[in-house]
Chains A and B, each alone.
Chain A
Amino acid sequence: MTDSKYFTTTKKGEIFELKAELNSDKKEKKKEAVKKVIASMTVGKDVSALFPDVVNCMQTDNLELKKLVYLYLMNYAKSQPDMAIMAVNTFVKDCEDSNPLIRALAVRTMGCIRVDKITEYLCEPLRKCLKDEDPYVRKTAAVCVAKLHDINAQLVEDQGFLDLLRDLLSDSNPMVVANAVAAISEIMDASPNAASVLEMNSGTINKLLTALNECTEWGQVFILDSISNYTPKDEREAQSICERVTPRLAHANAAVVLSAVKVVMKLMEMLDTGGDYVTSLVKKLAPPLVTLLSAEPEIQYVALRNINLIVQKRSEILKNEMKVFFVKYNDPIYVKLEKLDIMIRLTSQSNIAQVLAELKEYATEVDVDFVRKSVRAIGRCAIKVEPAAERCVSTLLDLIQTKVNYVVQEAIVVIKDIFRKYPNKYESIIATLCENLDTLDEPEARASMIWIIGEYAERIDNADELLESFLEGFQDENTQVQLQLLTAIVKLFLKRPTDTQELVQQVLSLSTQDSDNPDLRDRGYIYWRLLSTDPAAAKEVVLAEKPLISEETDLIEPTLLDELICHISSLASVYHKPPNAFVEGRGGLRKVLPPKSEQAEGLVEELGAQEPTAAPPQPTVIPGADSLIGDLLDMDMGSGPSMMQQQMYPAQPAAPTPAGGSGGMDIFGEGLDNLLGGGSTGGDMLGGLGDIFGMPQTQSYVPPQEVWLPASKGKGLEITGTFARKNNQINMELTFTNKAMQPMSGFAVQFNKNSFGLMPAQVINIRTPLPPNQSASTSLPLNTQGPIQKMEPLTILQVAIKNNIDVFYMSTHVPLHVLFMEDGEMDKKIFLATWKDIPSPNEVQYTINNVPHNADTVSSKLRNNNVFTIAKRNVEGQDMLYQSLKLTNGIWILAELKIQPSNPSFVLSLKARAVDVYEAVKQVYENILHN
């Protein structure tokens, strides 16, 4: 007797037949009918029409039938709220049943029916069940609180369920404790308000640790995750928690193991680094991590992503375990790539020979992605382990000899990095590289090769011919290659001016006159100017000595790493992003590692309150930190991932190449001044030069600077400014003008709490002292991790500026579009569903007059500002654009733009869950469309 019979139906009137059977007098027939209904439901057929008939079967003594009806109810109650009320009485009665199984089932099912009217009736039974004598009922009720919170958070808080839930943490039954913990963590995730009520203290932690030994493996995961959120008050407590958690490292369930690893990794921060206990913990951590790698590939993948973080934080843990990361040929590709990454991180002088032999083996495999990454890894080894560089280079040369196209290209890209790390050491191989010139068809490889030729132009006899050969197809090249070619030829010219004049003129005219690309054009003009005004200066700028690149590329920035360590075992650890960067609706809660115990006392409270630290530490790992100008001028390809990091974490300034003669070259205004004027700053470089050179980017709308602080109020300091979004980064563009009689210095900026948590991401960089009657501009990168307070109007940002004279306050308006995220493109289906889902009272219409553009220009203009056109429809001659955008705080806004040809007035309809933002969004549309 199998269930497949429930699918065999007669050709017509299936629903009708079922209806008849459901209303049958015979119990057996009824049950069979309900089973048929459930079977149809599981495959996604719509059987909601049978709702009243199924609900009629609910009052029964037969538990199986009851369960089946409950299953049905959970699925369809939402679509039939009025009908669902019919079931309430039975639920309430079942909650009083003598059988605990039935009580639990009733309260559990009620929680799953997401209908307001049912929820009202749920409160009383739930309160009773939370104090039920039977632990099975209590544990089910605990979860039910979380369900109810999801439906109606306010109700849960008002009715005091949170306190009841907290009481369950002291329950005598460990299973009840585990479920209460699970419910609490879900509630805390969803609403930060609840966090204060449910905060952990050492007493509750103790209870959790006791329950840990006795509850199920799943409960252990919840408890361990909860413990990881607690910051012990001193080193002793941290150590005692560690002692009680370490046995979990030997659990068969991988989730338990990794959660235990998280707790230990976090608490280790508080312990004395040199101490014996830490040494023993480090020893204990390696075996469980290695064991995870012998599990199923999915588990391996998650483990590897986490190990990647762990070895960056504490490489000593796995330093002797290199071999477990060696790749087996039938590992899934996602495991292979991760293993490779960790191998590089663990590479040291002692194991380089083994690693290199392995990498060479991998480079001959079939999978192209894997082979590429292996070749790249060889280059990274060369950069990391200096004594092995020579072996790595010869391995790369061997690989180039294979003539396999993508291997050759990848090898050339990494050899370029090796040249940067060890200049003037391996030029002998240039000849071999040049042999492969014709086979290069990927932009990055071409650009790398061109860079090598330009850099070593004086040693390559036919450098001019080689570069000339690239010049033929100049227009068809990728921008990256064009920029590189331009720079390389200028370098060549500066090194061998006599016979390359023609070439340099050709490239300058190609890039300035025949190109539509502003980056290329601007760079061309700059070189042209430089060369024609002051060739000596040009030489100093273009041929400036490049800072060395650092050993480790693509390390995670330390503050982010510390945050991710707190998220080991979670999705954040798999994506290597903090959760607020990708989980919707997650508040500003950020986790931080506990401080070393010495300072613990004072800081705990602060950390407990989850206040983000006021001044984030300066990023320190960026390899190119002090090579910005080098990068801008001739390293567009950056060194792999490090370039991305630079954009995400703008680097501290370095004194760029000093050069004379800033006068008379005002064609580029600020930008060029900064380039040549000396003493300019990193912020400037990113803001100003970033635009002119390199860094291809879309042109987002930047409102003109306006006066924020008039000189009369600023004791002679005038500040004009605006906001801009560049390279995923919000910048505050400021110009300071000194209209007083004395120089100004000691500038600092602070923001008041604001609606979007904006705060400066670094200290302001400005040339000081600022002499009288001079101005200086800077671009201050901002992040959105600051304290949040809703402002009226929403976009107001109060700024305090300090200098050696006084502190000044000014109020600015943040144009909302700088807060639009790059990932604001919603999937079509989701867009449709969300549009429907948002109630129509939330829809507001605006008219935007006098727009001089057509639909396509409008959509591309908006696209440049991260307003994404999801779909375009033409209805009766008018264009309808459907658009989505996402704010930094995760709010989605959907828009519909109605455009009639020959009518310059557009109709904009906005829909979002938070209506407060509409006014600001509309303002953005107006500004962008009128621009």
Chain B
Amino acid sequence: MIHSLFIINNTGDVFMEKHWKSVIHKSICDYFFEAQTKAGSPEDISPIIATPHHYLINIYRNQLYYVAVVTTEVPPLFVIEFLHRVVDVFEDYFQGCSESILKEHYVIVYELLDEMLDNGFPLAMEANILKELIKPPNFLRTITDTITGKTTGVSATLPTGQLSNVPWRRTGVKYTNNEAYFDVIEEVDAIIDKSGSTVTAEIQGYIDCMVKLSGMPDLTLTFVNPRFLDDVSFHPCIRFKRWETEKILSFVPPDGNFRLLSYHIGSNNMVAIPVYLKHNIFYREGSAGRFDVTVSQKTTMGKTVENLVLECPFPKAVLNVTLTPNQGKYTFDPVTKVMTWEVGRLETTRSPNIKGTINLQTGSPVPESNPTLSLQFTISTLAISGLKVNRLDMYGEKYKPFKGVKYLTKAGKFQVRT
């Protein structure tokens, strides 16, 4: 299984290593560095690198590379999911996962990694179990510890969740305010072609929860229109049988923040496109080219598009742009050549526009093709697929919890070719 883990920063320092079997010298990372120099950008490094005796499986998060070393035939997704989980646990423990934060908590990081795997097999991966074993650092605790003189961050008893059949929830949870919030979030991924017609559009949806309920609550969540959910991935807590037979989500929730399910609504369904772009972009040799883009609202079911940001990655040949927006402001990064226009709110009454000139570097040839624009936006109180929660019921506990459902639509990978 997983043999070793190296954490490498942007400058190529292997600043953290953990071995679950025998020690592999960190010179193995040279193969990774080789792949790194070949790749155009950090994101382009192949996730799996073969070396004569080992395989390096890596992910890139928060400017750090997490490189796992395996020697035998293992499922790579298993390793990748593990690495994702490592990052999640770090973020959960330290509220961040940068190099300085990890260095600050070296010993805890090492203890955590040791607890997560044994001989390369997952041992305790659930955040709530780990937290019972190894206390997260916390300002308050530091103070009480210093006063009481007790500084152990390691529990001496076996975590309760470790063996229960609901490993995601610890026992004995108590809250004075019992509350459960559900956020239905939908991201629209779309490719719009030059003429404005939709090449492909799909929705990645998920329901993120914040559940703070005492005891062992058993929840059921029903939808007005569950037929939208035919391609779903569930948190392990959901009872699959009931979903299959009754289309009801029945589960004992984990404590705190978690993702209950994610779903996918594919391009075979009709997906509404909330905004529409009109654009006229061209380059000219020797003189200034033109850039003229207008955004207008399309299908939003009466809601307002907010936080609209338009990004335009220009090719290297572009020297700078001189633009005038009639709403919001724009910036141009001369290094990455990315123009970012922060439009803000999209009013129904007028369509924001930005126009001006593009200047090429002298001597560069006219770029072959126009840039692909990408859009970000949010529409609150709307799930663009139309998915609606019907009701939430709680069994197993006596108190009355406070419940809430919120809807939000966002742009995912929303790209407009020009």
State yes or no: do A and B come from one complex: yes
- A residues touching B (Cβ–Cβ < 8 Å)? 1-4, 6-7, 28, 31, 35, 38-39, 42-44, 62-64, 67-68, 71, 75, 78, 99-101, 108, 111-112, 114, 134-136, 140, 143-144, 146-147, 150, 173-175, 179, 182-183, 186, 189, 214, 216-218, 221, 225, 247, 250-255, 257-259, 287-288, 290-291, 294, 296-299, 301-303, 320-321, 323-324, 326, 328-330, 332-334, 354, 357-358, 361, 364-367, 402, 404, 567, 569-572, 574-575, 579, 582-584, 586, 823, 826-827, 829-830, 833
For the complex, what is the distance from the CA of A99 to the CA of B155, rounded to whole Å?
12
A42 & B17 in contact (Cβ 8 Å cutoff):
yes
> Which residue of A has the minimal Cβ distance to B368?
A364
For the complex, what is the distance from the CA of A150 to the CA of B3, rounded to whole Å?
13
B163 & A361 in contact (Cβ 8 Å cutoff):
no
A221-B75, A297-B47, A569-B77 given. 19 additional CB < 8 A pairs? A3-B107, A6-B106, A7-B106, A44-B17, A62-B152, A67-B111, A71-B111, A144-B119, A179-B121, A189-B73, A247-B241, A252-B234, A259-B75, A287-B266, A298-B57, A302-B77, A302-B80, A321-B268, A571-B76
Given A3-B105, A367-B40: A108 touches B118 (CB 8 Å cut-off): yes
Smallest CB-CB A-B distances: 3 pairs: A287-B231, A64-B154, A364-B369
Q: Which residues of A contact B152 (CB under 8 A)?
A: 62-64
A579 & B73 in contact (Cβ 8 Å cutoff):
yes
B125 & A216 in contact (Cβ 8 Å cutoff):
yes
Interface string of B39-79 (1 = CB under 8 A from A): 11001101110111101011100000000001111111110
A586 & B73 in contact (Cβ 8 Å cutoff):
yes
- Can you report 20 A-B residue pairs in the complex whose CB atoms are below 8 A from each other? A3-B107, A42-B18, A63-B155, A99-B158, A101-B157, A251-B233, A254-B77, A254-B80, A255-B75, A259-B75, A291-B231, A294-B189, A294-B202, A298-B58, A329-B374, A334-B46, A357-B193, A358-B199, A361-B417, A570-B73
For the complex, what is the distance from the CA of A255 to the CA of B142, rounded to whole Å?
38
Q: Which residues of A contact B55 (CB under 8 A)?
A: 571
A291 & B77 in contact (Cβ 8 Å cutoff):
no
Instruction: Name, among B17, B39, B240, the residue most crowded by chain A CB atoms within 10 Å (CB to CB).
Output: B240
B236 & A330 in contact (Cβ 8 Å cutoff):
no
For the complex, what is the distance from the CA of A392 to the CA of B75, rounded to whole Å?
39
B289 is an interface residue with CB less than 8 A from chain A: no
**Which of the candidate stretches B19-27, B293-301, B328-336, B342-350 sits at the interface with the other chain?**
B19-27
B106 & A4 in contact (Cβ 8 Å cutoff):
yes
A225 & B75 in contact (Cβ 8 Å cutoff):
yes
B162 & A572 in contact (Cβ 8 Å cutoff):
no
B153 & A291 in contact (Cβ 8 Å cutoff):
no
A583 & B73 in contact (Cβ 8 Å cutoff):
yes
B73 & A572 in contact (Cβ 8 Å cutoff):
yes
Q: Which residues of A contact B241 (CB under 8 A)?
A: 247
**Minimum CB–CB distance for A192 against chain B, Å:** 14
B119 & A827 in contact (Cβ 8 Å cutoff):
no
B81 is an interface residue with CB less than 8 A from chain A: yes
A252 & B235 in contact (Cβ 8 Å cutoff):
yes
**Minimum CB–CB distance for A285 against chain B, Å:** 11
Among B19, B82, B261, B266, which residue has its beta carbon within 8 angstroms of that of A290? B266
Chain B interface bracket (under 10, 10 to 19, 20 to 34, 35 or more): 35 or more
Q: Which of B219-233 contact A (CB under 8 A)?
A: 230-233
Q: Which residues of B contact A134 (CB under 8 A)?
A: 158
B372 & A250 in contact (Cβ 8 Å cutoff):
no
For the complex, what is the distance from the CA of A62 to the CA of B104, rounded to whole Å?
23
Tell me the dominant secondary structure on chain B's binding face. mixed
**Minimum CB–CB distance for B409 against chain A, Å:** 16
> Which residue of A has the minimal Cβ distance to B114?
A71
B259 is an interface residue with CB less than 8 A from chain A: yes
For the complex, what is the distance from the CA of A493 to the CA of B15, rounded to whole Å?
68
A250 & B233 in contact (Cβ 8 Å cutoff):
yes
B244 is an interface residue with CB less than 8 A from chain A: yes
A574 & B78 in contact (Cβ 8 Å cutoff):
no
Q: Which residues of A contact B380 (CB under 8 A)?
A: none
B78 & A218 in contact (Cβ 8 Å cutoff):
yes
Among B22, B84, B106, which residue has its beta carbon within 8 angstroms of that of A296? B84
B267 is an interface residue with CB less than 8 A from chain A: yes
Q: Which residues of A contact B80 (CB under 8 A)?
A: 254-255, 296, 298-299, 302
Q: Which residues of B contact A258 (CB under 8 A)?
A: 75, 77
For the complex, what is the distance from the CA of A287 to the CA of B71, rounded to whole Å?
32
Q: Which residues of A contact B170 (CB under 8 A)?
A: none
Q: Which residues of B contact A114 (CB under 8 A)?
A: 22
For the complex, what is the distance from the CA of A64 to the CA of B115, rounded to whole Å?
12
For the complex, what is the distance from the CA of A364 to the CA of B149, rounded to whole Å?
67
B156 & A99 in contact (Cβ 8 Å cutoff):
yes
Among A42, A44, A174, which residue has its beta carbon within 8 angstroms of that of B165? A174
B15 & A43 in contact (Cβ 8 Å cutoff):
yes
**Minimum CB–CB distance for A16 against chain B, Å:** 22
B47 & A302 in contact (Cβ 8 Å cutoff):
yes
A71 & B75 in contact (Cβ 8 Å cutoff):
no
Q: Which residues of B contact A1 (CB under 8 A)?
A: 137, 142, 145-146
**Minimum CB–CB distance for B13 against chain A, Å:** 9
Q: Which residues of B contact A183 (CB under 8 A)?
A: 121
Q: Which residues of A contact B272 (CB under 8 A)?
A: none
Among A251, A302, A361, A575, which residue has its beta carbon within 8 angstroms of that of B234? A251
A328 & B50 in contact (Cβ 8 Å cutoff):
no
Q: Which residues of A contact B16 (CB under 8 A)?
A: 42-43
A326 & B191 in contact (Cβ 8 Å cutoff):
yes
Given A302-B48, A364-B368, A571-B48: A251 touches B236 (CB 8 Å cut-off): yes
B261 & A252 in contact (Cβ 8 Å cutoff):
yes
For the complex, what is the distance from the CA of A481 to the CA of B339, rounded to whole Å?
46
Interface string of B258-302 (1 = CB under 8 A from A): 010110101110000000000000000000000000000000000
Given A218-B125, A252-B259, A575-B50: A291 touches B264 (CB 8 Å cut-off): yes
Q: Which residues of B contact A571 (CB under 8 A)?
A: 48, 55, 70, 73-76
Q: Which residues of A contact B191 (CB under 8 A)?
A: 326, 328
B256 is an interface residue with CB less than 8 A from chain A: no
For the complex, what is the distance from the CA of A283 to the CA of B162, rounded to whole Å?
36
A42 & B369 in contact (Cβ 8 Å cutoff):
no
Among B76, B236, B368, which residue has its beta carbon within 8 angstroms of that of A402? B368
Q: Which residues of B contact A586 (CB under 8 A)?
A: 73
B415 is an interface residue with CB less than 8 A from chain A: yes
For the complex, what is the distance from the CA of A135 to the CA of B369, rounded to whole Å?
63
B84 & A35 in contact (Cβ 8 Å cutoff):
no
Q: Which of B118-174 contact A (CB under 8 A)?
A: 118-119, 121-123, 125-126, 137, 142, 145-146, 149, 151-158, 162-163, 165, 167
For the complex, what is the distance from the CA of A63 to the CA of B109, rounded to whole Å?
17
B368 & A404 in contact (Cβ 8 Å cutoff):
yes
Q: Which residues of A contact B20 (CB under 8 A)?
A: 112
